[in-house]
């Protein structure tokens, strides 16, 4: 519900459990008043305080009042260079050369339904469940209108934000910065949590108290990156999984981003999140509009666990556009770690034959099927089947796979080009390269200029042909290097600051085309694993390969970190062979299955080489997954331990929304001869219900949560157990 209160000139946004308020000050400055647990009052402007502070200038409209300053008042969307010295949200380059922005309220409007953002990912839903607040601000010197958009999805406790900048003048308007979200909080005694890492170790949480100055996470890699994720948390210092006030903010964007928090002089904090201003400028001709990518916020007063569950529900139901919504996704086998580039139809069919016998439903042919691609030095850009390797092409292979009872999926990497490819030989100027500089190669490949429609069309036409030539039901869309030397031959010098963002828009446009033309295809995102795991991609690709690291123990950490924002059903996770390809660790097959089934589940090993015992185990795993998928994928997710603290085990739990069923997964660390008697306290159960615990009798929900469940003693490294609980009627 959104309410406008005329006497106080406040707009109040209510979700089921939270309230957000902004106010229009008599000067026309739009102030941020409150974000937190739901309140009844509609005028909270008494929370705003004013004082004459030294070195904090007063805007013209304040007249003789020296207590009103942009430097001290909390703002909805911070300005630049006009008296607020904290993080700016927007910056124009005026025709005189000044880089400033100053905004005053023009009008506001509340309407049913959700605003639309052309060409950008966004949360969606019916007219009846969304409300939109539009607040239009004006910068007369810049000849621009800045429209702040707020979407309220009440039932899900989600507030979305975006910003439209409109050229309202007669000449060009130049933007140098345009954030999606600005959140001014009245306190700085908060912790900031960011999700950081590297290729093969993504989204490791890092938590630290805010300190004076600016703390930030961001990317200039052209993708949201393995290194930082466009999701951050600000929370009470003592907040934990079950307790404390937490703000989560995600950006639905897959390119260069920045999420920065500045601790102000007066123990306040400002979060600004959006497209990274580094390498960014945008020119608007008269009447043109720039749309900032959408950001989404959740506030939970009940700790990090509840914050995550609110994001999970909203992402699952109102962001991901899944053709298999409400149905189980196929269990897949991918040939990458089984064969790498070294395959022929016999090898592939041998894996597929075994997979079908074990209950797998989808076979995915990974890298190496096209062009001249026997290793990763060549072939990208030539999206025709290599018939030396696959005689008869996909027209022969896919039906043969289908005959075994499996559907067929295919890997592609459309944004890239190898210099050793027919495409590059014909169009060397299609790769992003700075004139006069030599290009930096990544995985020995270059990046195509996806800001250019004709290049996207060329690649898309090839993909369309391939995907139409065979019954393909799944595509893995990969991207295997960071962008550097970003310069487009299609844009004039003064518009080169648009190329990174235009490339992201190009990827979104291609993915949307793919979705429209092949609605039956499930697309999995991938960027050398989890280098583009963000809300932007999830709008087009309902699942994303979580990491190139398939070791079950490392995956516990990666999936744990990922779970702070993103739901289990979005995290591609496979059982692979041991010793693990990435770190050499040996873990039991049972453990690998338990880790992977809390993800978009599959296998990535040569099943034709498994022993009869291993096959029996895999068959059992797939049966378990098929029986419990709803709980695993759609249940409420509880982190029971933190795998980054070297505890004796890692545990997590999925609970059905009606709390009648739960699944608890526990993975132990290294073997110990004498281990203490341990109990694990469960969460999210009905304290008044009684639960049948598989093979362990009947337990009260209260006992399981407050006293705990006695964990079995295990022998050997990295053992795992899974407990299934069902409520029983007395």
Q: Smallest distance from the beta carbon of 188 to ligand DGJ, in angstroms?
A: 39
Q: Which is nearer to ligand DGJ, 174 or 226 (CB)?
A: 226
Q: How far is the CB of 350 from ligand DGJ (least distance, A)?
A: 20
Query: Pattern of binders to ligand DGJ over 625-664, x per CB under 6 A?
Result: ----------------------------------------
Q: How far is the CB of 480 from ligand DGJ (least distance, A)?
A: 5
Please check whether residue 247 is in contact with residue 183, taking contact to mean a CB–CB distance below 8 angstroms.
Answer: yes
Q: What are the contacts of 302-306 at 24+ separation with CB within 8 A?
A: 302/242, 302/243, 303/239, 303/240, 303/241, 303/242, 303/243, 303/244, 303/246, 304/233, 304/235, 304/239, 304/240, 304/241, 304/244, 304/246, 304/564, 304/639, 305/241, 305/242, 305/638, 305/639, 305/683, 306/242
> How many residues touch ligand DGJ (CB under 6 A)?
11
- Identify the residue among 195, 231, 290, 411 touching ligand DGJ (CB under 6 A): 411
Name 426's Cβ contacts closer than 8 Å, sequence gap at least 6.
Answer: none
Smaller CB separation from ligand DGJ, 178 or 338: 338
Report if residue 529 touches ligand DGJ, rule: CB under 6 A. yes
Helix or strand run (H / E) with residue 453: helix 453-468
Establish if 478 lies at the interface with ligand DGJ (CB under 6 A).
Answer: yes
Of 247 and 424, nearer to ligand DGJ (C-beta) is 424
Closest separation in Å from C-beta 376 to ligand DGJ:
6
SS3 of residue 449 by DSSP: coil
Tell me which of 56, 78, 480, 587 binds ligand DGJ, using CB under 6 A: 480
Least spacing, CB of residue 458 vs ligand DGJ, in Å: 22
Query: Is 548 tagged catalytic?
Result: yes
Rounded CA-CA distance 551/605 in Å is: 12
Task: Compute the least distance from the CB of residue 530 to ligand DGJ, in Å.
Answer: 9
605 touching ligand DGJ, by CB under 6 A: no
Task: Please give the helix or strand (H or E) that residue 350 lies within, else none.
Answer: helix 345-358
Calculate helix-pair angle for 345-358, 393-403, nearest 10 degrees.
20
Q: Where does this chain touch ligand DGJ (CB under 6 A) — which range of 105-113, 132-140, 524-532, 628-636?
A: 524-532
Tell which residue, 634, 564, 627, has the closest CA to residue 598: 634
Is the distance from CB of 533 to CB of 544 less than 8 angstroms? yes
Closest distance of CB 8 from ligand DGJ, Å: 53
548 near ligand DGJ (CB under 6 A):
yes
Could you tell me if 70 and 60 are in contact, meaning their C-beta atoms sit under 8 angstroms apart?
no
Bridge partner list, 709: 680
How far is residue 323's CA from residue 478's CA, in Å, rounded to a whole number? 20
Nearer to ligand DGJ, 10 or 480 (CB): 480
551 binds ligand DGJ (CB under 6 A): no
Nearer to ligand DGJ, 145 or 367 (CB): 367
Which among 322, 478, 534, 636 is annotated as catalytic? 478
Any idea which residue has 């950490």 for tokens? 557
The residue with tokens 């995956």 is 555
Give the residue from 663, 709, 705, 700 showing the smallest Cα distance to 684. 705
* Residue 730 is a catalytic residue: no
Of the candidates 548, 551, 554, 636, the residue annotated as catalytic is 548
User: Would you give the binding string for ligand DGJ spanning residues 349-378, x where CB under 6 A is met?
Assistant: -----------------xx-----------
Give the helix ranges, DSSP H, for 469-588.
499-517, 535-540, 552-562
Closest Cα partner for 362 from 413, 328, 320?
328
What DSSP letter does each residue of 611-626 carry, written as one string? -HHHHHHHHHHHHHHH
Whether 416 and 479 have beta carbons less than 8 Å apart is answered as yes
Select 575 or 720, whichever has its Cβ closest to ligand DGJ.
575
- Helix or strand run (H / E) with residue 318: helix 303-318
Provide, rounded to whole angstroms, the least separation between the CB of residue 168 and ligand DGJ.
Answer: 45
Q: Minimum Å distance from CB 459 to ligand DGJ? A: 17
> Closest CB to ligand DGJ among 23 and 527?
527
Number of residues that this document lists for the chain: 730
Q: Which stretch binds ligand DGJ (CB under 6 A): 68-76, 311-319, 526-534, 673-681?
A: 526-534
91 or 554: whose CB is closer to ligand DGJ?
A: 554
Based on CB atoms, which residue is closest to ligand DGJ, 239 or 348?
Answer: 348
Looking at the annotation, which residues are catalytic? 478, 548
Contacts with ligand DGJ by CB under 6 A lie at 336, 366-367, 411, 478, 480, 526, 528-529, 545, 548
């Amino acid at each position: 519900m959104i309410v406008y209160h005329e006497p106080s000139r406040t707009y109040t946004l209510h979700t089921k459990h939270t309230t957000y308020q902004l106010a229009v000050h008599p000067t026309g400055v739009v102030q941020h008043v409150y974000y937190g647990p739901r309140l009844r009052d509609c005028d909270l402007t008494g929370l705003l305080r004013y004082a004459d502070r030294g070195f904090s200038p007063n805007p013209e409209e304040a007249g003789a009042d020296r207590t009103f300053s942009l430097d001290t008042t909390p703002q909805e969307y911070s300005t630049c260079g006009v008296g607020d010295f904290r993080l700016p949200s927007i910056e124009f380059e005026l025709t005189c050369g000044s880089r400033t922005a100053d905004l005053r309220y023009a009008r506001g409007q509340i309407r049913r339904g959700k605003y639309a953002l052309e060409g950008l990912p966004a949360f969606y839903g019916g007219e009846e469940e969304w409300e939109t607040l539009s607040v239009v601000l004006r910068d007369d010197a810049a000849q621009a209108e800045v429209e702040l958009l707020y979407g309220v999805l009440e039932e899900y406790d989600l507030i979305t934000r975006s910003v439209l900048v409109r050229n309202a003048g007669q000449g060009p308007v130049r933007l140098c910065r345009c954030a999606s979200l600005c959140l001014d909080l009245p306190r700085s005694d908060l912790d900031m949590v960011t999700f950081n890492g590297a290729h093969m170790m993504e989204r490791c949480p890092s938590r630290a108290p805010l300190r004076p100055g600016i703390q930030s996470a961001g990317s200039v890699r052209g993708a949201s990156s393995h290194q930082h994720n466009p999701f951050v948390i600000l929370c009470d210092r003592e907040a934990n999984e079950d307790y404390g006030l937490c703000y989560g903010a995600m950006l639905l964007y897959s390119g260069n981003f920045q999420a920065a928090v500045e601790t102000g002089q007066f123990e306040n904090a400002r979060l600004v999140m959006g497209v990274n201003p580094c390498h960014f400028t945008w020119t608007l001709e008269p009447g043109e509009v720039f749309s900032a990518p959408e950001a989404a916020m959740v506030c939970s007063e009940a700790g990090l666990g509840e914050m995550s569950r609110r994001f999970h529900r909203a992402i699952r139901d109102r962001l991901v556009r899944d053709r298999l919504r409400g149905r189980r996704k196929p269990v897949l086998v991918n040939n990458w770690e089984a064969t790498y580039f070294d395959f022929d139809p016999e090898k592939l069919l041998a894996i597929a034959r075994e997979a079908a016998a074990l209950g797998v439903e989808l076979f995915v042919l990974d890298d190496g099927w096209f062009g001249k691609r026997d290793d990763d030095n060549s072939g990208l850009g030539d999206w025709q089947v290599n018939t030396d390797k696959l005689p008869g092409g996909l027209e022969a292979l896919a039906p043969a796979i289908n005959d075994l009872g499996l559907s067929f999926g295919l890997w592609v990497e459309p944004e890239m080009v190898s210099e050793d490819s027919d495409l590059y030989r014909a169009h060397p100027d299609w790769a992003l390269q700075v004139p006069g500089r030599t290009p930096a190669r990544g995985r020995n490949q270059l990046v195509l200029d996806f800001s250019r429609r004709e290049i996207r069309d060329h690649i898309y036409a090839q993909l369309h042909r391939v995907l139409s030539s065979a019954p393909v039901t799944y595509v893995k869309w990969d991207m295997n290097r960071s962008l550097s030397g970003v310069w487009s031959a299609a844009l004039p010098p003064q518009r080169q600051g648009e190329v990174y963002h235009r490339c992201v828009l190009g990827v979104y446009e291609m993915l949307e085309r793919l979705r429209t033309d092949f609605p039956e295809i499930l697309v999995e995102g991938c960027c050398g694993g989890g280098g583009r795991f963000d809300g932007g991609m999830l709008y087009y690709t309902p699942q994303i390969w979580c990491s190139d690291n398939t070791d079950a123990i490392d995956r516990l950490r990666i999936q744990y970190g990922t779970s702070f924002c993103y739901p289990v059903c979005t995290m591609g996770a496979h059982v692979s062979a041991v010793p693990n390809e990435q770190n050499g660790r040996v873990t039991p097959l049972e453990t690998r299955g338990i880790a992977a089934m809390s993800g978009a589940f599959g296998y990535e090993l040569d099943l034709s080489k498994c022993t009869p015992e291993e096959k029996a185990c895999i068959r059992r795993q797939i049966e378990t997954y098929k029986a419990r998928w709803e709980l695993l994928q759609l249940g409420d997710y509880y982190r029971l331990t933190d795998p980054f603290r070297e505890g004796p085990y890692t545990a997590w739990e999925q609970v059905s929304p009606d709390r009648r069923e739960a699944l608890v997964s526990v993975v132990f660390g290294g073997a110990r001869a004498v281990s203490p008697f341990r109990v694990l306290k469960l969460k999210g159960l009905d304290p008044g219900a009684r639960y049948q615990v598989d093979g362990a009798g009947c337990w009260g929900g209260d006992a399981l949560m407050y006293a705990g469940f006695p964990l079995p003693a295990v022998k050997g490294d990295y053992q795992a157990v899974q407990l299934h609980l069902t409520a029983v009627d007395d």
